[in-house]
Chains A and B, each alone.
Chain A
Amino acid sequence: EAGVVQSPRYKIIEKKQPVAFWCNPISGHNTLYWYRQNLGQGPELLIRYENEEAVDDSQLPKDRFSAERLKGVDSTLKIQPAELGDSAVYLCASSSQGRGSTDTQYFGPGTRLTVL
């Protein structure tokens, strides 16, 4: 079974430019997460989807970040415009949990973003 797929793996852009990341979760996983991981730190949740619905986006900087999960499968995370401080690894994860169940997440390899 294929794991979580993310693309691109690496992205270098200049500040103020837009950038988008794509994620394809494990087949059948209804929950999808986007995390940002800064150097030397753990992943921080940006947004969590249950199927098509964003159930937790409290940590998403909504002035420049947006996300969508059309049809409850693939997801795209966008930054517009990018700032220097957005340089990080953006991780996508998925899980098959139902309400109240345990939360074992399966992570993709991440997209390393460098903003110059």
Chain B
Amino acid sequence: DQQVKQNSPSLSVQEGRISILNCDYTNSMFDYFLWYKKYPAEGPTFLISISSIKDKNEDGRFTVFLNKSAKHLSLHIVPSQPGDSAVYFCAASGSNTNAGKSTFGDGTTLTVKP
């Protein structure tokens, strides 16, 4: 049973528009969430994170929203740029249980068209 799900394998948006990537989780023990970005032939790179005590975290063009009651988080990229084209992974971890272990979703491939 997959505990972290990214139900959209791919997303295509026009340059300058908003990209919204979604992630759902099932384990209520998760209390820290991260987004990673991955280019081909490279390892994932940390992008932004959010603790369960918050519902929003913003870093430049990237904002992550957390809805704990729905066990749902989303990553917003505004405005989207062609260089944002990559695979985005959502990950979740629990500080109280097996601290340090992150569970990853299967990723969403974002394509930003010029």
In chain B, residues 54-111, which have Cβ atoms closer than 8 Å to a Cβ of chain A?
A: 89, 91, 93, 95, 98-107
Question: Within the complex, which residue of B43, B91, B101 is in contact with A56, where a contact is CB–CB below 8 Å?
Answer: B101
- Are A105 and B106 neighbours in the complex by a CB distance under 8 Å? no
User: What is the bound-complex CA distance between A44 and B105, given in angstroms?
Assistant: 9
Query: How does the 8 Å CB contact mask read for A79-97 relative to B, with 1 for contact and 0 for none?
Result: 0000000000001010101
The stretch that binds B, out of A12-20, A64-72, A106-114, is A106-114
> Which residues from B are CB-within-8-Å of A99?
99
Q: Which residues of B contact A44 (CB under 8 A)?
A: 104
Counting contact residues on chain A (CB < 8 A from B), the size range is 20 to 34
- Report if A28 contacts B (CB, 8 A): no
Q: Which of B34, B101, B107 has the most C-beta atoms of chain A within 10 angstroms of its own C-beta?
A: B101
Q: Which residue of A lies closest to B36 (CB)?
A: A107
State whether B44 touches A45 (Cβ < 8 A): no
Query: In the complex where A91-B43, A107-B43, A107-B45 touch, is A102 in contact with B51 (Cβ < 8 A)?
Result: yes
Range of interface residues on chain B?
20 to 34
Q: What is the bound-complex CA distance between A34 and B60, given in angstroms?
A: 31
Judge whether A109 and B41 touch: CB under 8 Å: yes
Q: Is B42 an interface residue (CB 8 A)?
A: yes
- In contact, B106 and A40 (Cβ under 8 angstroms): yes
Determine if B98 and A56 form an interchain contact, defined as CB atoms under 8 angstroms apart. Answer: yes
